[in-house]
Amino acid sequence: MVSLLTGVTGNQGSQVLEHMKGQPVRAFVRNTKNNKTKKLQERGIELASGDLKDEESIYTALENVDGAYLVTLMLEKGAQDEVEQGKAFLAAAKRRNLKHLVYSSVEGAERQTGIPHFDSKFEVEELIRESGIPHTIVRPVAFFDNFPKQRGLASFFTLGIFRAGTGYSKKIQLVSCYDIGRVVAAALKNPSKYAGQVIPLAAEELYVSEIQDKYEKALGTRPWKAWLPRFFLYLLPYDIRCMFLWFGQRGRGYRANIPALRREYPGLLTFDEWVKRG
């Protein structure tokens, strides 16, 4: 049972690939000549080159494929790119009579957030449902992987931006891309169990100060965070600004049921466990 995987050089797709070890997979990539894809070839992973907006290249890549993992990306057109990618992929998948599709959306997509890349993902979800293709939708929250594992300028500003968005009174739900990969791979391996499910994914809900605590617990040193006033968010690109403002608004933000998810998926990494993984 061959699975076609998209986004294999990104945070989510690379972890799906790792959890599919021992399974026949084909990686859909834009460029087979760069360093990342050359390393995949050295590992013996079959590559199919193409563009997620190009139905014909997707159709070719889906030959003799039973299941597929789709993650859409914002490119030059922003969130609209995701819808175009979804349409092209679904058109090719229907022509191939794909047996099972796993799509990576985002928690809250269904709530009309006004965040362009959330709303576009929900539009793709709706297209998938209309297509009639058996499917599983995963809706992860923010990633642990957004935070650099080592103390430095990157973590300094990342913590500062999240603090500007959430303020002192709101927590942010987080999950590791490792666990996203684990759940997606489980769905690809067992479509009869997972088809029809919409799965939110979150492992912890933390204040920014608690993230700093967990960094300190794991690394033995507490990272600093930049002090950024809330109006700094208005300097960010519109899509990203909307998301960080949404994180801090009363009654908004992610709403995954973390206790239920921990019962369903034992072993979801905590932030400090994720940091310690190196």
User: CB–CB of 105/70 below 8 Å?
Assistant: no
Task: Report residue 46: phi and psi, to 5°.
Answer: -70, 135
CATH fold of 3-141+176-201+255-266 reads Rossmann fold (3.40.50)
Please state, in angstroms and as integers, the Cα–Cα distance from residue 259 to each residue in 160, 256, 271, following that order. 28, 9, 16
Outline where DSSP puts E strands in 2-94.
Answer: 3-6, 25-29, 46-49, 67-71
CA–CA gap between residue 277 and residue 274 (Å, rounded): 5
The structural domains of the chain, with segments of one domain joined by +, span: 3-141+176-201+255-266
Give the contacts of 188 (CB within 8 A, at least 6 positions apart).
3, 16, 20, 23, 67, 69, 100, 102
* CA 256-127-138 angle, 5° bins: 25
CA–CA gap between residue 133 and residue 4 (Å, rounded): 15
pTM score: 0.94
Q: What is the pLDDT of residue 124?
A: 98
Q: CA dihedral in degrees (248, 180, 160, 233; nearest 10)?
A: -50
Q: What is the pLDDT of residue 278?
A: 67
Half-sphere exposure in the Cβ direction for 230 (13 Å, CA) = 12
Task: Give the pLDDT confidence of 197-222 residue by residue, as tens digits.
Answer: 999 999 999 999 999 999 888 888 88
Closest CA to 194 of 203, 205, 185: 185
In the three-class reduction of DSSP (H, G, I as helix; E, B as strand; rest coil), residue 201 is classed as strand
Task: Give the pLDDT confidence of 78-88 residue by residue, as tens digits.
Answer: 788 999 999 99
pLDDT in tens, the chain (278 residues): 899 999 999 999 999 999 999 999 999 999 888 888 889 998 999 999 999 999 999 999 999 999 999 999 887 677 889 999 999 999 999 999 999 999 999 999 999 999 999 999 999 999 999 999 999 999 999 999 999 877 778 888 899 999 999 988 899 999 999 999 999 999 999 999 999 999 999 999 999 999 999 988 888 888 888 888 899 999 999 999 999 999 998 889 999 999 999 999 999 999 999 998 86
